[in-house]
């Protein structure tokens, strides 16, 4: 998986009746990237991070905890379904159908613009969700890798 490993492990442990407790001990430190928004989206797509929501759903498919996994990525999943409906409406070549399909997107952009107090930030929020949703679809379609296969690696220094 390219991401959501902790979420996936937590779901499986809770389903196996384990109880998880958060330890009040710092165990890692995050550092921020200094890339602009669109460069960061490209970077995340190239490195597969954006495919993680789909990989999470694919790994949980057919399992009793699928609903919990779906709950974790619900925003991306709902928007992915909407994007698929939008693409299908474009294939009709009917202006009325396309216009009706675009209304929720326009309303969403308007609401994000109001919330973010900026048209540019509102558009970036919608673009982020669209790319994450496309990543969900890509992650769903990727083949499952054998977890016992070691990752490709190169020894830099011994």
35-52: pLDDT as tens digits: 888 899 999 999 999 999
Question: Of 150, 129, 147, 145, which Cα lies nearest the Cα of 50?
Answer: 129
Mean pLDDT of the chain, nearest integer: 91
C-beta separation of 53 from 76 below 8 A: yes
Residue range 72-85, pLDDT digits in tens:
999 999 999 999 99
Q: What is the pLDDT of residues 84-133, one digit of tens each?
A: 999 999 999 999 999 999 999 999 999 999 999 999 999 999 999 999 99
Phi, psi of 78 (to 5 degrees): -65, -45
Q: What is the structure's pLDDT at 110?
A: 97
Question: What's the whole-number mean pLDDT along residues 46-71?
Answer: 94
Q: Is 103 exposed, middle or buried (0-12, 13-18, 19+ CB in 10 A)?
A: exposed
Q: Provide the pLDDT for residue 1.
A: 61
DSSP character at residue 149: S
């Amino acid at each position: 998986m390219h991401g959501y490993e902790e979420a996936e492990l937590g779901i499986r442990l809770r389903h196996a009746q384990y109880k998880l407790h958060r330890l009040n001990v710092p165990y890692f430190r995050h550092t921020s990237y200094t890339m602009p928004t669109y460069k960061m989206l490209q970077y995340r797509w190239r490195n597969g991070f954006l495919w993680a929501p789909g990989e999470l759903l694919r790994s949980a498919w057919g399992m009793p905890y699928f609903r919990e996994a779906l709950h974790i990525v619900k925003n991306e999943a709902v928007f992915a379904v909407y994007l698929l409906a939008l693409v299908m409406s474009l294939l009709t070549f009917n202006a009325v159908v396309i216009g009706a399909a675009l209304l929720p997107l326009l309303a969403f952009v308007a609401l994000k613009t109001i919330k973010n107090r900026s048209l540019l930030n509102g558009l970036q929020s919608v673009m982020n969700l669209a790319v994450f949703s496309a990543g969900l679809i890509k992650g769903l379609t990727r083949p499952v890798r054998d977890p016992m296969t070691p990752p490709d690696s190169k020894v830099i220094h011994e």
